[in-house]
Structure 1
Amino acid sequence: MATLVLDVDTSRRRLVDLTDDVQQFCSGRGDGLCNVFVPHATAGVAIIETGSDDDLVDTLERLLPRDDRYRHSHGSPGHGADHVLPGIVSPSATLPVQGGKVLLGTWQSVVLVDLNRDNPRRSVRLSFISA
Structure 2
Amino acid sequence: MSDAFTTRVLTVSTGSRERVVDLTRDCEAFLREAAGGRDGLLNVFVPHATAGIAVIETGAGSDDDLLAALHTLLPADDRWQHSHGSRGHGRDHVLPAIVPPHATLPVIGGRLELGTWQSVCLVDTNIDNHERKVRLSFLG
TM-score by length of 1: 0.96
1:31 corresponds, among 27, 36, 39, to 39
Distance 1:24 1:115 in 2: 26
Q: Secondary structure of the equivalent of 1:27? A: helix
Listed one character per residue, the Cα deviations across residues 40-76 of structure 1 (whole Å, up to 9, x for unaligned) are: 0000000001221110011001111011101111111
The answer to whether structure 1 residue 88 and structure 2 residue 88 are counterparts is no
Instruction: Tell me if structure 1 keeps the 8 A contact 2:24–2:120.
Output: yes
Distance 2:18 2:102 in 1: 19
Listed one character per residue, the Cα deviations across residues 84-121 of structure 1 (whole Å, up to 9, x for unaligned) are: 00000000000000111000000000000001000010
Distance 2:92 2:77 in 1: 11
Q: Percent identity?
A: 65
The answer to whether structure 1 residue 15 and structure 2 residue 16 are counterparts is no
Displacement of 1:26 after TM fit?
1.1
- The number of residues matched between the two structures is 130
Displacement of 1:13 after TM fit?
5.5
Moved over 4 A (4+): none
Distance 1:22 1:4 in 2: 10
Please report the RMSD computed on the Cα atoms of aligned residues, expressed in angstroms: 1.0
Q: Secondary structure of the equivalent of 1:68? A: coil
Distance 2:24 2:77 in 1: 32
Structure 1: state its 5+ residue gaps: none
Distance 1:63 1:34 in 2: 29
Instruction: Tell me if structure 1 keeps the 8 A contact 2:18–2:127.
Output: no
Distance 1:27 1:99 in 2: 10
